[in-house]
Amino acid sequence: MPVAAFEPKFMKIGVLTAALQELTPREKGKVEDRLLELMESLELERSQIGAASAQLKALQERLAAVRAKHETTGARLRQEIADLEAEREARAAGIDRQLLRRYEQIRARQGNLGLVRIAGRSFLPSQCFQMNNPVVLITRI
């Protein structure tokens, strides 16, 4: 929430002079002392406002730099994702649809990891190629 700048309201000198003339010397001294206190307080408050304003400006500049970096990085990452998705689609086009569907099922079940362990049977590398083994084909993706 923006803070409105302090705008003092000045009274005409004649009104103040007339009011001061009606005061006794003792009352006049108290008023002058209070006026000095207020002026010192005002000066202190103005310096604190100036320091806070400078700090706010520095923080706003830092925020703008962080946002710009975030946007740049985000755009770069979105482009990288799009490029990788296009590459994946191009590579997937050369794979049997049924095999790809099975791969996607495994990947979904494994939390985006499309690898499974073959258990209970041993295969020689030459047999994997002869059997059109999905594990071998999936590694080409």
Model pLDDT, residue 9: 72
> pTM for the complete prediction?
0.46
Whether 3 maps to a domain, the answer reads no
102 and 59 belong to one structural domain: no
65 and 102 belong to one structural domain: no
Whole-number Å distance between alpha carbons of 72 and 32: 60
83 and 103 belong to one structural domain: no
- Domain span holding position 121: 96-141
- Nearest-CA neighbor of 50 among 2, 1, 5? 5
CB 137 within 8 Å of CB 91: no
Number of domains in the chain: 2
Point out the domain boundary residue: 93, 114, 129: 93
Whether 139 maps to a domain, the answer reads yes
pLDDT profile of the chain (141 residues), mean per 10: 70 71 80 88 92 95 97 97 92 85 81 61 46 47 42
Helices and strands: H and E segment counts in the chain: 5, 0
15 and 40 belong to one structural domain: yes
102 and 141 belong to one structural domain: yes
The structure tokens 């990891």 sit at 113
Model pLDDT, residue 141: 42
22 and 78 belong to one structural domain: yes
Model pLDDT, residue 54: 94
Angle, CA of 82, 85 and 87, to the nearest 5°: 110
136-139 long-range contacts, CB within 8 A, separation 24+: 137/95, 137/96, 137/99, 138/99, 138/103, 138/114
DSSP, collapsed to helix, strand or coil, labels residue 112 as coil
Work out the number of other CB atoms within 10 angstroms of the CB of residue 134.
Answer: 20
89 and 101 belong to one structural domain: no
Model pLDDT, residue 78: 97
